Structure 1
């Protein structure tokens, strides 16, 4: 983290850039999320102000439907997904009670329930805690019992969608990450090398 002065200057530069480019900042909806992993306690940062309005500091913030918090874990996001998933499962059960079965019920699960449970899964699937993963898997198992058929776990869905995303990036030559991913390709197989390997460190140094 930089000094208070540099932070204020950076915010002011951003506000000035928006003004020059005819972009309006909604300061009333802007929030400050402070991430600080220093072990020693420090005084809180100075109040951020944009366009003369003080910005509220929050512990968690919802961005594009994904909940981020100042601990950089996915607990708040999992809580939101579990809550939304339970409400969608209620609708699934109601449909079954009305006699809806088979492909129609599965279509409702895929489009309404699974879309809520697995929202943003490419971001969080590999880094949520085991406890949160078990909570999500319980939702999937409940849905499986309603449908009467097995469903993929959170890990399986996450791995599948991650591979699909990587494949789309590798074949999209206009994507800004395409060159970086191509450079991680192994010389002996089609696998991607881990970013911590020697080859990637050499690329970064160059």
Structure 2
């Protein structure tokens, strides 16, 4: 039997619930929801079903229709996308919507950089402002979306960096350089932390000089964090574990 997998996400207030449905069997997923409702009731927490949404990620060509989740006697509405910790996630796991949001937000903050330039502040102060206020927006969750983003979307963000360079009058790290540095830093922390759930994905080869590559069957998986992080660490000297 062909394995079918779905990822379902529920928001309860500011909480996130993730469940995996395999081979069309939703019993485990719905059972977890029931236990969550029971736990909230026991702990005097009220769930607002009107502010709860469900997003189904399903890449099959002909997905079977699903029954809606019932929460507190009310059906949960289905969402095409949602914003989680400032990152917009769509059911197709594409990043154009998220990058458009980041670009707009960064462009708005460019106004303040231009205003500071009028006060003839030192270049170092302008760079510090850019790093804290604008670069922080451009790199929000960059380890998650950069590898899977299109060249066109990356160019939108890179244009903001070029605009900042013209205002400040010096070169700044490119978007790709920022992605490489943050991904390597994050991957190194996970590889050095045995308690992290993703630690086992950073396994050394018998030589101890490189990490074992993660096998991928789709470009979507290949461009996700862990496979790309392993490749990045393999391109740099491997720290002893």
Among residues 117, 128, 140, which one is paired with 1:119 in the alignment?
Answer: 140
- Structure-2 residue corresponding to 1:201: none
In structure 2, the CA distance between the partners of 1:75 and 1:171, relative to structure 1 (3 Å rule), is: same
Query: Secondary structure of the equivalent of 1:46?
Result: coil
5 Å-filtered alignment, 1:52-201, equals: 52-178=73-199, 180-182=200-202, 184-196=203-215
Question: For structure 1, which segment, 88-97 or 106-115, has the greater mean C-alpha deviation from structure 2 after superposition?
Answer: 88-97
Cα-Cα RMSD: 2.4
* Deviation, structure 1 residue 46: 2.7
* Deviation, structure 1 residue 155: 1.4
Q: In structure 1, list runs of 5 or more residues that go unmatched.
A: 198-206
Whole-Å Cα distance in 2 between the matches of residues 21 and 156 of structure 1? 47
In structure 2, the CA distance between the partners of 1:25 and 1:4, relative to structure 1 (3 Å rule), is: farther
Cα displacement string for residues 25-48 of structure 1 (whole angstroms, at most 9, x for unaligned residues): 4433321112232323754x3332
Question: Contact conserved, 1:4 with 1:46, CA < 8 A, in 2?
Answer: no
Among residues 3, 19, 38, which one is paired with 1:16 in the alignment?
Answer: 38
In structure 2, the CA distance between the partners of 1:26 and 1:100, relative to structure 1 (3 Å rule), is: farther
Q: In the alignment, does 2:49 pair up with 1:27?
A: yes
In structure 2, the CA distance between the partners of 1:84 and 1:13, relative to structure 1 (3 Å rule), is: same
More strand by share: 2
More helix by share: 1
TM-score in terms of structure 1 length: 0.82
- Structure-2 residue corresponding to 1:37: 59
* Deviation, structure 1 residue 72: 0.8
Question: Contact conserved, 1:68 with 1:74, CA < 8 A, in 2?
Answer: yes
* Deviation, structure 1 residue 5: 6.1
Query: Secondary structure of the equivalent of 2:57?
Result: coil
Question: For structure 1, which segment, 24-33 or 148-157, has the greater mean C-alpha deviation from structure 2 after superposition?
Answer: 24-33
